[in-house]
Structures are given as structure tokens and as C-alpha cells.
Amino acid sequence: MNRGARRGGSGPIGRAYGGGMSSIPAVPVFTAATAPGALPVLGHGLRLLRGPVGFLSSLHEHGDLVAVRLGPTTAQVPCHPALLAQVLEDDRLFDKGGVFYDRARDVAGNGLVTCPHRDHRRQRRLVQSAFRRPQLAHHAGAVRAEVDAAAADWRPGLVVDAFPLFYGIALRTLARTLYSTAIDAELATGVERAFDTVLNGLFRQMFLPAPVRRLPLPANLRYRRALAYLHAATRQLVAAHRSGEAGGDGDLLSALLAAADEDEGGAGGAGLSDAEVHDQVVTLLAAGTETVAATLTWTLWRLSLHPAAAEQVRAELDAVLPHGRAPRPEDLPRLAAVDRVVSETLRLHPPGWLFTRITTAPTELAGRPLPTGSTLVFSPAAVSRHPAAHRSPAVFDPDRWRPERVTPAARQGFLPFGTGARKCVGDLFARAECTLVLAALLSRWRLVPEPGADLRPVPLATVLRPRRLRLRLRLVER
């Protein structure tokens, strides 16, 4: 047993869904166990692939820290929210690493999400400076333009496929936010196709042994070609912005380059090189497309099952957006019901379903000795379903995010954007985008799921998303 589990610090926590480590409830003792049912050679890998969230969510029944076997590797899974908080608080001891980040670095290089602790503080400071209010306003304008374009030909009775719809909106919004008018239509289409191939292949590459990844199999060749195109296109865009050939007013790429240049001329800081800017751009593309699309898809499905929550949203939109006018950034504080629905969807369906950490020194967790190089695996979806985080954790209840109902344990178990020093730099952008897209569409349309939806997660997808959800369009009656 862990003698003297660490207690959380004290201090203010911002928004109701904030991810700070303050006011953490104390847990005096944690237990360690080993998951039963490992198969020869495969270990628990087959159970993980067949039902990742169900398998990982079940592990807390065995202990707070549970050892699982994934092929030849034994990984430790922190199941209790407070135990996972200890891990995520200390990003020096529990650094980013393991098979997930090894494959992710093939895509995003040494970007903000994938870089080790030694590089993170400097990168975070420079990249954070690009996420300021002018960029948020620019992003909101891009959201509005892409939603309007996607819905331009809609008519009552039309059936749309939810995830491809939202993936297209998210990717084109992010491209417009990153590059402004500097990217032409042909290049934008090429980047979209390449990134679709890369994201769909990332987890397959993660689970393939190295000798198989090197074989000239069709899937491997498609993945390599798409990755090469994506990197070449990004280098081209960075070089064009750096030279002034394709300046974008208010876009994120220009802000990243400006932040690097300002730091270069400041007191004692090296700016981002073109290679580093390239890695940040690819990181933002990876983190801001499928994640947003999956969240919007799950949100509409959840609203279709919960009429009371849907009615709260409709009433709020009628009040804030009379006659279905387009939402603006200044409307966001008044869209509290929409925000609560997004929070609850993110709690139950956080896009990232599996992350890894590597110990950089010998340590002990839940009384279990961990040597240097030990692999830890955690799932935000599993932690958010832990009974220590919420009452009735399986129930969809947006009102649990009303300020008066939010508890420190609930904040601690809410990890769709991570927490602490490694919290997602674009979390406010992502939340704003989800809220604005939902407000823009639901103020004018009802999107009703068609029969035959398949809500099983796509196997080996980068994010947890349903296999099929089709929506029939109906005009909002006024």
C-alpha cells in the first residue's frame, strides 16, 4: 500500500470544468493489483482493442493501480483520479513517452504535445503567446464561415453523415485559422486528404511490430506517402510565411512566427526554428480536427437521447440568438447550457482514449516499485467514469457542471484536455469552436439521428468516434 499518498495544493480554480490540481481531495491509501485474464502472447491487448473504454473502465474494480500486459509489455494503469493526478502533476518523473508518443512523434516531431519535459517549458511559453484574443476572434470568424459554407445547400429532409460533416468543418476551420488566405484550395484539399490518411493510420502503426511497419504493404505505403506530403506542405507554408510571400493577417502561423521573432530579439530566449514551427503546426492539426469532430458527433447523439437537456439548449439559443442569428464570440458567456452539454459530452466521450507516460527515475506508486523506463497507460474516459469522481458517473447529466454542483473530485476526473503543465494549449479554442458550431446549427436546424446508428467506436482510430451516425435535417419552428 502507498504510505502517505500526496495531498493536493490549495488555490483558486477558474472555470467549473477547469483542470487545475488545486483543492484535490486527499486519498490516504492506494491499492495495487494485476488484471486477470491475460492471454498467452497477446496479454490483455485483444480486450483493449475490442472494447477500450469498457476494459479500461473496469480495471478500478481490481485496484487503484492495475498492471496489464499489452503483448510483451507490462504497463501500469492508474485508475483512481487522485492517483492519476499524482502522475500528471509530476511531468519530470512521469515524462511523455511510450509507444503512443513514439508513433505520434513520427507525425508531429518534437511538437508541444509530444516533446519531453526538458523542451516543454520553452515551447509552451512561445506557443501560448499565439493563442491570444485576436486569434480567438479570427478563429470564431473561421468557424462561422465554414459552418455557413457547409450548410449552404441544406434543405429539410436531407440526411447528412455526422462525423464527416464535422470533420470537414473542423479541418477547414483550422486550416483557415492557421493559414488565413495563404493556402490555396488545391493545397488545402491535399492537406485534408493526407491528414485523414495519417490520422486513420496512426494507431494501426502504433500496434504493429517494427518489422511489419517496414514492409511495403499497401497500408504502410499510403501512410508514408501521406505523411511525406503533409510534412512537405507544412514546410512550404512555413517558408512562405517566413519570407513574407504569404502573410496572413491574424492567423496562427503568423502569430507563431511573430512570437518566435519577438523572443529572438528579447532578453535571453531563442525563438522557434522553422523546423520547430513545422512541428507545432502539425501538432495543432493533429489535435484540433478529429477531436472536435468526434465531440460534436457525440454531443448530437447525446442530445437526441435526453430531451430535457435538448430543450434547455433550444430555450437558451432562442434567447441569445433571436431569429437564428449567427453566434459571435461575445455570445459565448451567455451560452451556458450549450457549454454544460459540451462539458458532459467531453466527460463521457473524451476524444483521446489512451495516453502513455514513462518513468525517468526509479519510483513507487501505490506501494508498487517502478524502475526507470516503466510504462504507464491512462484513459481520460475511464477516469471520468470512476465512482470517486462523480455520483452516477454513467449518467449523462449536463447540470452536474453548474458551478454550485461542481466538486474538486469532479474537476480532478475531467481530463479531456489533460491538466497541469501539459494541459492542451488550445483548450479554450476547442471549447469555443464546439459551442459556436452547435449554436450556429441548432439555432436554425434540428438534427435528428436516423435509425441504424452504430455507436461502437471505430477500431484503432486516433480518437473515440462512432462508426456511423446519420442525421436528418428539420427546420427549427418559430
Helices 252-264 & 162-179 angle (0-180, nearest 10): 40
The verdict on 180 and 305 lying in the same domain is: yes
The verdict on 372 and 231 lying in the same domain is: no
Answer whether residue 443 is part of any domain: yes
- The model carries a pTM of 0.88
Nearest CA-CA partner of 143 in 388, 375, 420, 434: 434
Q: How, if at all, do strands 159-161 and 470-475 pair?
A: antiparallel
- Residue 414 pLDDT exceeds 60: yes
Mean pLDDT, residues 238-262 taken together: 74
Residue 18: pLDDT band (50, 70, 90) is very low
- Residue 131 pLDDT exceeds 90: no
Who has greater pLDDT, 458 or 269? 458
- Residue 246 pLDDT exceeds 50: yes
Nearest CA-CA partner of 441 in 15, 178, 150: 150
> What are residue 364's phi and psi, to 5 degrees?
-135, 135
Q: What per-residue confidence (pLDDT) applies to 248?
A: 62
Who has greater pLDDT, 18 or 25? 25
CA distance 340 to 337: 5
CA distance 57 to 384: 9
The verdict on 54 and 132 lying in the same domain is: no
- The CATH number that applies at residue 330 is 1.10.630.10
Answer whether residue 286 is part of any domain: yes
Answer whether residue 111 is part of any domain: no
Residue 17: pLDDT band (50, 70, 90) is very low
Answer whether residue 44 is part of any domain: yes
The verdict on 238 and 369 lying in the same domain is: no
Domain count, the chain: 2
The verdict on 145 and 80 lying in the same domain is: no
Residues 6+ apart with CB under 8 A from 422: 88, 91, 96, 120
For the record, the C-alpha cell of 20 comes out as 487545475
CB atoms within 10 A of CB 61: 10
Mean pLDDT, residues 71-90 taken together: 94
Answer whether residue 409 is part of any domain: no
Residues 6+ apart with CB under 8 A from 149: 172
Who has greater pLDDT, 6 or 335? 335
Question: Is 115 annotated to bind ligand?
Answer: no
Task: Give the lowest-confidence range in 3-12, 102-111, 182-191, 412-421.
Answer: 3-12
The verdict on 314 and 367 lying in the same domain is: no
Task: Give the lowest-confidence range in 22-36, 126-140, 437-451.
Answer: 22-36
- Residue 268 pLDDT exceeds 60: no
- The CATH number that applies at residue 77 is 3.30.43
**Element spanning 202, H or E:** helix 185-207
Answer whether residue 303 is part of any domain: yes
Mean pLDDT, residues 165-183 taken together: 82
The verdict on 139 and 163 lying in the same domain is: yes
The verdict on 335 and 382 lying in the same domain is: no
User: Do residues 43 and 71 make contact, with C-beta atoms less than 8 angstroms apart?
Assistant: yes
Q: Check residue 5 and give left, alpha or beta (phi > 0: left; psi -120 to 50: alpha).
A: beta
Answer whether residue 319 is part of any domain: yes
User: Do residues 470 and 464 make contact, with C-beta atoms less than 8 angstroms apart?
Assistant: no
Q: What per-residue confidence (pLDDT) applies to 260?
A: 63
The verdict on 313 and 384 lying in the same domain is: no
For the record, the C-alpha cell of 25 comes out as 481531495
Q: What per-residue confidence (pLDDT) applies to 431?
A: 95
The verdict on 211 and 299 lying in the same domain is: yes
The verdict on 142 and 182 lying in the same domain is: yes
Report the chain's mean pLDDT, rounded to a whole number. Answer: 87
For the record, the C-alpha cell of 467 comes out as 462508426
Above pLDDT 90, what percent of the chain? 59
Domain membership of residue 435 as a residue range? 126-345+427-475
205-222 pLDDT tens trace: 877 778 888 999 999 999
Answer whether residue 65 is part of any domain: yes
First to last CA, the chain: 61
Q: How far is CA 27 from the centre of its chain?
A: 28
- Residue 11 pLDDT exceeds 50: no
The verdict on 188 and 214 lying in the same domain is: yes
